[in-house]
A and B are shown apart, each in its own frame.
Chain A
Amino acid sequence: MSEAETDQWEVRVKNGPINLFDWVRNVFMEILGCDAESALAMAKQIHTEGETVVWTGARAECEERAYSLQDHGLHAVIVRVVT
């Protein structure tokens, strides 16, 4: 691990042209446990910026979230946090 890397990871969801807005919002509420307003804000950010960070934490918990998001058809990736 280089000095700039940490043991923290983040799950990012990338924009997909086919997924429905309301579906993404609903999945965020289900998987991440966030409220409707936060879920909608994240969905909008993905739509406008191409991706957003939806979870930060240890690698195992990031994998758990990424798996659940992929299970619902979302394009979730895991990236190491670099400071």
Chain B
Amino acid sequence: MILVYVECRDFKIKQSSLEALSEAKRRGDEIGIETTAVLVGHAVDALAPEVFRYGASKVYILENALLAHYSPSGFTQALVSLIEEIKPEIILFAATSMGKDLSPRLAAELGVSLASDCIQTAAKNGKLEVKRPIFAGKAFASFMLNSSPQMASLRPNVFPLAEPVDGHGETIKKEVVIPENQVKDKVTEILKAEGAELDVTEADIVVTGGRGMKGPENFDLLRELTAVLPHSALGASRSAVDAEWIDHQHQVGQTGKTVSPSLYMAFGVSGAIQHLAGMSSSKFIVAVNKDPDAPIFKVADFGIVGDLFQVIPPLKEELKKILSE
């Protein structure tokens, strides 16, 4: 059986978990094993039917009031007890903040290795082979998962979501017993960023500003663009972050976030190797830079050599026009 950890935030299932579930179903069918899901938390039952629409035949619900808020040690304890009972061959996570935090703890607890942030999976002789970026995407490495269970986390925004079906399945609810002192690290509060902006790793469109933006006030131009573009987020180069024009949560690159949106738009970004590492796997790349020799143009599908301050306003209007049609 394949078990997919399904993450809930604000009483919603994360899209990237459904992507992982979709991929699990594709591989599970190929290998000939069942695809199942697990939800951990408190009062998450109502979300269970959603996973049947993406191919799970069973959903396990691990319920405990102590797990109402995320705790890596607590969630691991809950998952270990289920995994020892149902013995899945493969366990998949979405490589979200929570997935990246929880999956290695669980893997070590189970004594197995883990491939993180994979961008491709394949079934080989009943096992999984996965591909993952190394050096922030400057190279790709493929691995056969030789452990039991096999474990991997899948990068968000990479695996296609399955067409939802009118599926049904079995809901298995388990009250997990966890001594309070086993919940060693507790989330006590969630501080939302200004305006609850979408994170660059989750957006379909990333609009990035570099040092060419000249100052923090000009990022408003980019904010106006993201306001027009659906499911978009604001990115930044490290130079813009280091100048304190924008918070480092927005930084894209080798020491920032790696993104693979459908569309990446870079304004006043030169395209240093560390920046390219973080965004080169975007489906389409667009760049506006006044320097025709800027390295960003080497990876751009469409580039404009020109002054971003003159290009952005008419571009916003053109996009608005298209989107309103």
Q: Do A and B bind each other?
A: no
Please list the residues of chain B having a beta carbon within 8 angstroms of any beta carbon in chain A.
none
